[in-house]
Amino acid sequence: MLIFDAHLDLSINAIEWNRDLTRPLEEVRRCEAHLTGKAGYGRGTVSLPEMRRAGIGLCVATQLARVELNAWSPVVGWRSPAQAWAMTQAQLAWYRAMEAAGEMLQIRTRAQLRSHRGLWERALAAGDGSHLQLPIGYVLSLEGADSLLSLDHLHRAHADGLRAVGPAHYGPGIYANGTDATGRLNEAGRGLLREMDALGMILDATHLCDDAFWEALDLYQGPVWASHHNCRSLVPHNRQLSDEMIRALAARGAVIGTAFDAWMLAPGWQRGVTTPQEAGVTLETVVNHMDHICQLTGSALHVGLGTDLDGCFGNEQTPSDVDSIAALTRIPEVLAHRGYSAGDIKGVLHGNFLRVLEGALDEDRTL
C-alpha cells in the first residue's frame, strides 16, 4: 500500500550530515560508522532506496535552519536570518539535484499530486517491483520560519514550491515561540500568517508553544496540519499536543502525523541514556498515540504518519522494531490487530494527509 510520510528532514541529512541518500541504507551507515560527535552516526534509518522499498512514494520534505543567537555551531542554529536563509537555499539546491537525477519529484499542484499518486498506486498494485524505479514525490515544507528575511522571501520560497510552513521550531523564534518557550505571536508572526493565508499555504502547527498555537489557530483561516506530533496525555511535555489541542485540530479538519522519536513515545526518556529496548518502545507504542487521537476525536480521520526518522537521531532513539523506515510496512498489521478497518488503515497510511493536500493545493496556479 502507498505510504505518505508527513515529515522527513531529507535535505539536512544530505547537506549537514553529508549522507548520500541515493545509496542503499547499509552503505550510508558504513560510510559514517567510524565517526563520532553525533549519536545517530552509523545508525541512520532513511535512504531513498529504503523509502521506495517501503512504498513511500510521497512525503513532506523539509528545509530547516533556525536562528539562535548564542549558537556556536550550525548544528544548533545560525546567528542571523541571512545565514539561515542561505542554508535553506543549499537544502533546496539538493532537492533540485535529486529532481534532475530522477530520484525525486516536487509536488506543487493538485494535478501533480493526483498524477504521481496514480503512478505509484498502479506500480504497487502491479507487484512487479516497478515502483523501485519511480521518483519519490515530495511536498516542500519549512520547519521554523526564522530563515525568511521578509515576506518577499516567503513569496520567493512559494514560487520555488514551498507549500507548508511551521512558524516556530525550538525556543524563541523570529516570528513565533516554539518548543520550551512561551508567548504569543509577535506582529511579524501575525503578518506571516496573513501572507501564508493569501498564498493558500498549509500552516504546520508543529513546535508552536501553547500560547502561539492557540493564537495561530484562531487567526489562520487556511488549511492546517500537525506534521509530527504525539500526545501529551501519554508523554507529558510541552512538545506534545494536549487533548484540547487535538480536538481543536480535528475540528479544523487537520491531520496529526505520529512521530517515531522515542523520547516522544515513552515517558521518562533520557537522551543518550535510555534505550528503546529498556523502555519497551515498539510500533505498538507508536499506535498507542494514534489510537489515543482516534478515541479522542471519534474516528481515524485525523491520524497519519509524520515519522521524523533521522531527525538528528538514529535507531538508538527509535522503536526497537524500527531499524529502518521500511518498518512502516508493519503498521497495517498492528492497526488491524487493534480492530481498525481496511479503510481506516488506508487513511492512516496516506489517505488522510492526501485529503488535506487535495484541498490545499491549487489545480491551476501558474508557478
Per-residue pLDDT, 271: 87
**Residues 252-273 pLDDT 10s:** 999 999 999 999 999 999 988 9
Per-residue pLDDT, 129: 97
Q: Is it true that domain 3-360 has CATH number 1.20.210.10?
A: no
Per-residue pLDDT, 77: 86
Q: Read off the pLDDT band of 364 (50, 70, 90).
A: low
Residue 345: partners with Cβ closer than 8 Å, 6 or more residues away: 1, 331, 332, 335, 336
Per-residue pLDDT, 75: 52
Per-residue pLDDT, 366: 43
Cell numbers for 95, please give them. 532537492
Query: How far apart are the C-alpha atoms of 211 and 205, rounded to whole Å?
Result: 12
Kindly list the domain boundaries of the chain, sorted by start residue: 3-360
pTM of the model: 0.96
Q: Are 106 and 60 in contact (CB under 8 A)?
A: no
Per-residue pLDDT, 362: 84
Tell me the helices (H) and strands (E) count for the chain, helix number first.
14, 9
Amino acid 147 reads S
Angle at which helix 352-360 crosses helix 110-126, to 10 degrees, equals 150
Look at residue 8 and give its three-state secondary structure: strand
